[in-house]
Amino acid sequence: MVVVLLVCAPPAWAFSVTVTKTADTEDGNCQPTDCSLREAVNDTGADTIVLPAKASHYKVSDSFGGQIQIVRQLTIKGAGATKTIIDASGGTQHRAFDLAAFLNSTSKTVTFQDLTIAGGHTTDAPGGGGIYVEPSGPRLSLVRSVVSGNSANLTVSNPDNGGGGIFNDSGAGTTLTGSTLSGNMAIISSTAHVCCGGGGGIYSDAGPIAVAAGSHVDGNSAITSGPETSGPGFDCCDGGGGIYQDSAATRITDSTVDDNAADVNHVGNAHGGGGIMLDTGGGNLTVLRSSVSGNSVSTHGGATSSGGGGVLEDTGISQNSFVNSTFSDDLASGTGANRGGGALFVLRAKGATDNFANVTIAGNSASSGRGGGIFVAGSAIRTKDSIVSLNSASGGGANCRGFAFNNGAVSLAPGSFTSLGHNLEDAPDTCHFTGAGDKVLPAGSLGLGPLANSGGPGRTRALLVGSPAIDAGDPAGCKDFAGHLLTTDQRGALRPFGLACDIGSFENQSPPQDSELKVKPRKFRAATKGPTIREAKKKKKRVGTTVSYRDSRAAVTSFTVFRRKRGVKKGHLCVKPPKKKHGKKRKRCARFVRVGGFTDQDVAGPNRFRFRGRLNGRRLRPGRYRLEAVPSVTGVVGNTVRASFRIVR
């Protein structure tokens, strides 16, 4: 019998090349000891290019056409974002990379892994100072990489747009995994009465954007401007400080869109989102366990100008979802009739919906407009288990504001707000929180900490001890709008922690703290029958005593009873006296011996019950005792407090 073993070898063309020098050269040949990045891309056909860690940067110079064009599926792999840096600065201005179309390219991927792309600059439309993906080009994937300090500076006379770090013109889309877009800038100036747009970090004109796994779109900026005089037609300039999406879905997961800025000036229409802008062709936006905070927008334009400090939604019918996320310290300012939306400005067609579940919208501002938290027209806002607090607006609607939008043929009714329960707002109620479990409380009483890093990839506003949001979420469990239970908060911390989930994006997990433990009266008779504890009532009892205490949060408090007995000193210990006396006389002391215990499911604040002097079905003997109380929540143990009592005959 003959056995034939078939071994499937990888294709002959699947191989990797290691770049051996940082200088930018192109002699048509990549040798093992003499190969530049450009030569590895152009002359080898390798599917993986390795860039070892170098003290100096890998250069992309203005020689040989400037930008490096990629026309195949390829992975360029570095040794870490701080150890492998591709630098396109110096010489004349040019991009770093151009991802062109090739056979079946929309089903292929170009991946940049563990490296930094910096210093790219272009004045050629449509921008993309770091990376430009051409129409029908491949999918762009950034893995643990950084695109930073790139820019696009465009002057346009036709409708055009630009991205400072990345411009994607392919339907294949862009994915960031554990990666960063930071310090990129798009400057777009229109000299004619046409529309223009800019995305500081990334502009997508034809594909989805996915930002995930601890990625950061932070500190980017977009500056757009148009003619100073009005003209024919509908002309406009738009800007998204971090992300500008004009074509497809955007999904932000376990990431941040923070500290970006958009400045938009146009005599006709100026629209901008400090963190994210969704334009007419933009699809659904999903923000999950992420932060959109510290962004700002300044819009200066005509009657229909608009701006959202965190997000501007200027789209058609779409269903957007915000879950376990924070919008904080965002700012909207400027001029124009539709100023406002400190965190979100929603301008959408009838039938569109924005859903908020366990979201914290706090500390945002519309400094020259309305709707410090949310400003909405033509769309429905639905909220549950969320906090809207500490926002401000100079034109009214400190937290929320609906308005009617009219612009010629476009007419949108005022936005509507619907509570699905268990929301918190500080007074006055501008978000229509009238559902089950909703609370509108005095300003400053919601117990929110400042925006800070409290674990996880993004910043949150912690719930302080005693916050009314703690354990106040839906008793059936906090859920997203698909009905899935939320088992973690924005940071990835366990949810719920305690009797119920907390309201907002932060689940407080501070250990419970008991205080003010009292036994009154301290001397009492034990009951001859019945349970260990009962509900405390004002009616005077002949037996038992009232135990009262305070807990910082709802918890299970374990009570242990110890009987005081005589003991003798043995070193630092108090031990049982020996049966026979011999040797040196030992110093007496009091020792406490455990008798038994019980538990009490308490609430945040004052608690009281009747302790009847019985344990394990038996009454305690006359004598002196000590009661110890230790609270715990979900396995996290708090402090110990003590009180003494005496059982009499």
Nearest CA-CA partner of 615 in 602, 601, 625:
625
Helices (H), 414-503: none
User: Which has the closest alpha carbon to 556: 598, 600, 513?
Assistant: 600
Supply the Cα-derived Rg of the chain in whole angstroms. 33
Q: Is residue 453 part of a domain?
A: no
| 72: in domain | yes
pTM of the model: 0.84
What letter does residue 510 receive in the DSSP assignment? P
Ranges in the chain, pLDDT < 70: 1-13, 156-160, 192-196, 226-237, 266-268, 270, 280-282, 301-306, 315-318, 336-339, 348-351, 405-414, 538-541, 582-583
Whether residue 293 lies inside any domain: the answer is no
Sign for the pseudo-dihedral over CA of 71, 72, 73, 78:
negative
Cis peptide before 631 (omega within 30 of 0): no
Contact in structure between 236 and 302 (CB atoms under 8 Å): no
Could you say which of 180, 206, 221 is where a domain stops?
Answer: 221
Which of 349, 345, 315 lies closest to 333 in space, CA to CA? 345
Residue type, 404: A
Q: Which of 199, 221, 243 is the last residue of a domain?
A: 221
Distances (CA, A) of 42 to 64, 75, 91, 258: 11, 14, 21, 37
Position 139 in a domain: yes
| Residue ranges making up the domain that contains 586 | 514-648
Which two tokens mark 411? 């007419």
**What is the model's pLDDT at position 188?**
81
Q: What is the pLDDT of residues 339-387, one digit of tens each?
A: 678 888 887 666 678 899 999 999 999 887 788 899 888 788 999 999 9
Contact 345, 375 (CB under 8 A): yes
- Which of 187, 221, 255 represents a domain boundary (last residue)? 221
DSSP code for 587: P
Amino acid at 366: A
Strand partners, 559: 598, 629
In a domain, 380, yes or no: no
Handedness of CA 450, 453, 457, 463 (dihedral sign): negative
CB-CB contact of 646 with 625 (8 Å): yes
Total of domains in the chain: 2
Amino acid 279: pLDDT:
80
Dihedral of alpha carbons 196, 393, 429, 425, sign: positive
Residue 390 lies in a domain: no
To which H or E segment does residue 153 belong?
Answer: strand 151-156
Three-state DSSP state, 428: coil
Among 293, 302, 164, 169, which residue's Cα sits nearest to residue 222? 164
Task: Characterize 174-209 residue by residue with b for buried, 16 or more Cβ atoms within 10 angstroms of its Cβ, and e for exposed.
Answer: bbbbbbbbbbbbbbbbbeebbbbbbbbbbbbbbbbb
Residue 109 located in a structural domain: yes
Tens of pLDDT, residues 230-264: 554 445 667 788 998 888 899 999 999 999 998 88
Pairing of strands 360-362, 424-426: unpaired
* pLDDT computed for residue 459 by the predictor: 94
Query: pLDDT tens digits for 566-624?
Result: 999 888 889 988 887 766 777 889 999 999 999 999 998 999 999 999 999 999 999 99
Domain-embedded: residue 622: yes
Give the model's pLDDT for residue 233.
Answer: 47
CATH assignment of the domain containing 575: 2.60.40
The beta-strand segments (E) located in 173-284 are 174-177, 180-182, 185-190, 196-199, 202-204, 209-212, 216-218, 221-225, 236-240, 243-245, 250-253, 256-258, 261-265, 269-273, 276-278
Cβ(331)–Cβ(365) under 8 Å? yes
